[in-house]
Amino acid sequence: MSTDIEALQASLRTFAAEREWEQFHSPKNLAAALSVEAAELLEHFQWLTEEESRLISAEKREAVAEEVADVFLYLLQLADKLGIDPLDAAHKKLLANAVKYPVERAKGTSKKYSEL
């Protein structure tokens, strides 16, 4: 695992321990919190057109960055609790997706792999 990821997870453990929050950080609760934060991220794009979502203001971009951080931090905590290396899991998933979505069949389409 990346030393940066490990260091961030250690910082998150310390942060939670200092506040005695570990008692609330079950995998179920962390997954729920992750879902809530992902919804808060989505809220910044609600009702925007495709073009507007690509051209957000610097102020909106900063707010989006904070929500991205919240999602990332909860995801790291969940992975830590379950002993999952998030980088390894991501690499494995990318390889699996390459098999499910071969370039020659998936290029230029948003269809699900089962529809290709």
Q: Which domain holds residue 98?
A: 86-116
- Pairwise CA distance, residues 46 & 21, whole Å: 32
Question: 7-46: per-residue pLDDT in tens?
Answer: 999 999 999 999 999 999 999 999 999 999 999 999 999 9
In a shared domain, residues 76 and 93 = no
- Pairwise CA distance, residues 64 & 47, whole Å: 15
Question: 56-82: per-residue pLDDT in tens?
Answer: 999 999 999 999 999 999 999 999 999
Q: Give the global pTM.
A: 0.90
CB of 63 closer than 8 Å to CB of 44: yes
Number of domains in the chain: 2
Radius of gyration from C-alpha coordinates of the chain: 18
In a shared domain, residues 80 and 104 = no
